[in-house]
Chains A and B, each alone.
Chain A
């Protein structure tokens, strides 16, 4: 009872250890700080993978623990990316405009600078004025606040409407898909104010850090992603370990019963939906500067379905399962679709993995759902059971002198 949180949850410590070793390993092998064994683009891939693991944690909390199959969390992820992208693009363009105007005789007025930025950013969609939603784009702190606030408020409003009407199960999943699609279609429009299907680009150029090579920047973002993943993992492990975790798992199993215990199920769902949307947004805000570009295709409904597939394959209802699933499937996916996987020549037909990867993924999803509902994380259970007996305090053998469970653990 008095033992510390980390002592009672060894998996958190193991996770942090593995994550730190991985981070140190990548740093040592990187171009910027080490032996240059890993290319900068692969460091970026790994950093992006960590962000995907982070959004998978959010998905696991809302789906694996609370049983709400939201198929819209990648929309919050992309919104987070858009919010940070607005500042990145604005500040970067401001630098360019200022240096272009520096040769003028008269120092440029604020208006000239703003118009220059607007023309640079929006020329591509035939506009020359900054839309009102770019009102905060000049300020990093404000735009960072929006990274959390915009997806958070959207989730709050959407969740309030959906949960208050007691929309559950597959209907909620459909509703979140519809919401995601609607948001994507809105962003595709040129007059939505976010450059339509061009999206925001050049996000890998960090304003004020033009002198820092991409090799170093990529490692910095990799560190930031690893830190965000580690911190979120600890925070969520703490959250699900207490009574709050009990309540949300109870909601997953029998929400009507939870109401009769006096817990406002809708309040809990709304809390979780908003919290996980904000975590997804933070993941997106770290992901897109590494990806360099964001456009409305990132909000495609299929992206959120992939997220659910990662969590299912990794193992729902356990945090490390989500991380394993996201890392494993997304890295495998980029290996197969990147053309690096060797094609299999069957003589009469050549299996080209770029085309067949999705079939393989779908098949493994079905197989995992049918035969290993615990996912990859279930393997860890198997390993743990081999080591420590779990007899719930009963003797290990029929005889009085048989080993007691406590003794066997020692």
Chain B
């Protein structure tokens, strides 16, 4: 099986606290994976390392068919290489309209000079409209995104991620603050997306993970505790001990 991302043997400490401890992780080009683990297990730090926000003390992160190292790249370069990230708290640019937010995220040359002379073509407007329809914001294109509800902001951020056309999507607690119907919609969307690209979902909610019906990686104290189907890992006594058995 080909791998899209290979993280091997990474460790990182903050002021002596070892947040990630010799963690290894691989994911294929079209795979859905859920990462679960108690608070402080290192889920967010793990995402920070992949996206270049944090540099590990040890280990390698390799990306794509050429196995390029991501460690020497900046956040922006990693994003351009095709790794998109959705944050737990919806972060959209509240002072700008939904259309402007999406237009900014559209896959295009990110060089300042190119952006300066870039003007949207009809195809770009059509793409933005299509994305807005996909995330249910078609009627809100002209609104400032700060006026949207919490759930709508979540959707807008997902739309912006889709606009980037990433090869790997890192999604941090997508279902937080969503209604039941919205959760179902999110599940369908994530499963759909994973047909064409890799998707990593960090989630607390076991029901949501069960619905995703995918391979699960359990993190604990900065390393992988167990990996496999949800039923498999929930039977693991170590997992029951640290995570489920409370």
Give A residues with C-beta under 8 Å from B.
1, 239, 242-244, 246-247, 249-250, 253-254, 256-257, 259-265, 267-268, 271, 392-393
Contacts and interface: CB of A to CB of B under 8 A. Distances in A.
Interface in B49-84: 51, 53, 74-77, 79-80, 84
Contact of B115 (A243, A259, A265): A243
B237 interface: no
A1 B75 contact: no
B116 A263 contact: no
Given A242-B119, A247-B104, A267 B91 contact: no
Given A244-B115, A250-B96, A392-B142, A264 B91 contact: no
21 contacts: A1-B120, A239-B116, A243-B115, A244-B115, A250-B93, A250-B96, A253-B95, A254-B93, A259-B74, A260-B51, A260-B75, A260-B84, A261-B79, A261-B105, A261-B164, A262-B80, A263-B76, A264-B74, A264-B112, A265-B76, A271-B112
A254 B160 CA distance: 15
Contacts of A271: 112-113
Interface string B98-135: 00100111000011110110111010010000000000
B146 to A, nearest CB: 10
Contacts of B105: 261
B85 interface: yes
8 residue pairs, one from A and one from B, having the closest CB atoms:
A262-B79, A259-B75, A262-B80, A264-B76, A271-B112, A250-B93, A244-B116, A257-B91
A246 B116 CA distance: 10
Contacts of B100: 246
Nearest to A269: B112
Contacts of A243: 103-104, 115, 118, 120
Residue among B79, B91, B105, B115 with max Cβ neighbours from chain A (10 Å): B115
A246 to B, nearest CB: 5
Contacts of A263: 76, 110, 115
B104 A246 contact: yes
B13 to A, nearest CB: 21
Nearest to B75: A259
A267 B93 CA distance: 20
Given A1-B122, A253-B95, A392-B142, A246 B112 contact: no
Contacts, number: 78
Interface of B: 51, 53, 74-77, 79-80, 84-85, 87, 91, 93-96, 100, 103-105, 110-113, 115-116, 118-120, 122, 125, 139, 142-143, 147, 160, 164
A259 B76 contact: yes
Contact of B142 (A257, A264, A268, A393): A393
Contacts of A259: 74-76, 79
B88 to A, nearest CB: 13
A1 B115 contact: no
A101 B44 CA distance: 79
Given A244-B116, A253-B95, A261 B104 contact: yes
A267 B160 contact: no
Given A265-B76, A267-B112, A242 B118 contact: yes
Residue among A242, A257, A261 with max Cβ neighbours from chain B (10 Å): A261
Contacts of A393: 139, 142
Contact of B76 (A1, A254, A262): A262
A254 B93 CA distance: 8
Given A244-B116, A246-B96, A261 B74 contact: no
A257 B89 CA distance: 12
Residue among A243, A263, A271, A392 with max Cβ neighbours from chain B (10 Å): A243
Contacts of B143: 392
Contact of A262 (B87, B94, B110, B113): B110
B160 A261 contact: yes
Nearest to B91: A257
B116 A249 contact: no
B91 A254 contact: yes
A299 to B, nearest CB: 29
Nearest to A254: B91
Given A244-B118, A259-B74, A393-B142, 5 more contacts: A1-B122, A249-B93, A250-B93, A261-B160, A262-B80
A244 to B, nearest CB: 5
B40 to A, nearest CB: 22
Nearest to B108: A243
A253 B94 contact: yes
B112 A244 contact: yes
B92 to A, nearest CB: 8
B115 A253 contact: no
A5 to B, nearest CB: 9
B124 to A, nearest CB: 10
